[in-house]
């Protein structure tokens, strides 16, 4: 597609429920990233996918968080047993190469998750 | 570790005023530096970048110069417009093969007519 597409744009869920967030990267972009933006905070790195290599999961805050990506296509971020501190905007980005040094990343509009 | 510190907002300016948003960083090695902008309801967009000391990034009338001696990358614009109202994020990418952007907390700019 023309840009990075994320769905849903907004999600309200009850504490303890599982949620799944989706990201469609730009076609041909081999690298995909998930970031989290909590209110009044900068963006926190969560996870990185590059082609068929093992993902870098070092930013995932707990084992309730997981993410998958098949090849160079769609990625899903799953949060199990949601807690109120999970409330944030979850941003997905993609880039055509391993590093964003020369290209920067293209970000989606994000999914605003509210846990009540 | 790497970190980015931005001036706290919100910043409110009148149209045609001069804008400066300060950004300083701490990083290992020689990072690349970026400014991203997030317009209301949209994703982050790369505004400008600089990859080595003394480089000046520029775009849409905005400029920022990579100052290694002061570890700074301040964003400036000579005459802001209402359409520049957005949240601005300073970020860095550090190390060969690095892919994790480190972001500042963002500065919200409101420009009033």
pLDDT, tens digit, for every residue of A11-54? Answer: 999 999 999 999 999 998 889 999 999 887 788 999 999 888 88
Q: What DSSP state is assigned to residue B83?
A: G
Q: Considering chain B, what is the average pLDDT of its residues?
A: 92
Is A80:A102 a contact under the CB 8 Å cutoff? no
Q: Determine whether the interchain pair B97/A4 forms a contact, defined as Cβ–Cβ distance below 8 Å.
A: no
The residue of chain B nearest to residue A95, with distances taken between CA atoms, is B99
- Residues on chain A touching B34 (C-beta within 8 angstroms): 104
pLDDT at B34: 93
The yes-or-no verdict on residue A96 having pLDDT over 90 is no
Dihedral (Cα; B29, B34, B35, B37), 10-degree rounding? -130
Q: Mean per-residue pLDDT for B14-23?
A: 97
Q: Computed from CA positions of residues A49, A112, B91, B83, in that sequence, does the dihedral angle turn out positive or negative?
A: positive
Q: Mean per-residue pLDDT for B28-45?
A: 88
A31 close to B (CB below 8 A):
yes
pLDDT at A79: 98
B35 confidence band (pLDDT: 50, 70, 90) = very high
- In Å, how far is B32's CA from the nearest CA of chain A? 6
How far is Cα of residue A16 from the mean position of the Cα atoms in its chain?
20
Rounded to whole angstroms, what are the CA distances from B80 to B40, B55, B113? 17, 23, 10
Enumerate helices (H) and strands (E) in chain B, giving the number of each.
Answer: 0, 12
pLDDT, tens digit, for every residue of A46-79? Answer: 999 988 888 999 999 999 999 999 888 899 999 9
B79 confidence band (pLDDT: 50, 70, 90) = very high
């Amino acid at each position: 597609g023309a840009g990075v597409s994320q769905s849903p744009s907004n999600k309200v869920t009850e504490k303890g429920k599982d949620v799944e967030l989706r990201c469609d990267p730009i076609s041909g972009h081999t690298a995909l990233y998930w970031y989290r933006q909590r209110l009044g905070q900068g963006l926190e790195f969560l996870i990185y996918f590059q082609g068929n290599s093992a993902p870098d999961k070092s930013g995932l805050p707990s084992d309730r968080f997981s993410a998958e990506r098949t090849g160079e296509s769609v990625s899903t971020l799953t949060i199990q047993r949601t807690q109120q501190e999970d409330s944030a905007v979850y941003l997905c980005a993609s880039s055509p190469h391993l590093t964003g040094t020369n290209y920067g990343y293209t970000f989606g509009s994000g999914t605003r998750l509210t846990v009540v | 570790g790497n970190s980015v510190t931005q001036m706290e907002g919100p910043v409110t300016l009148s149209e045609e005023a001069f804008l400066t948003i300060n950004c300083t960083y701490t990083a290992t090695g020689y990072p690349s530096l970026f400014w991203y902008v997030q317009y209301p309801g949209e994703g982050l967009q790369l505004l400008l970048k600089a990859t080595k000391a003394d480089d000046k990034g520029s775009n849409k009338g905005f400029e920022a110069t990579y100052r290694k001696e002061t570890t700074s990358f301040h964003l400036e614009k000579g005459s802001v417009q209402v359409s520049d109202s957005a949240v601005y994020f300073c970020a860095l990418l550090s190390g060969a093969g690095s892919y994790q952007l480190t972001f500042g907390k963002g500065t919200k700019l409101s420009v009033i007519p």
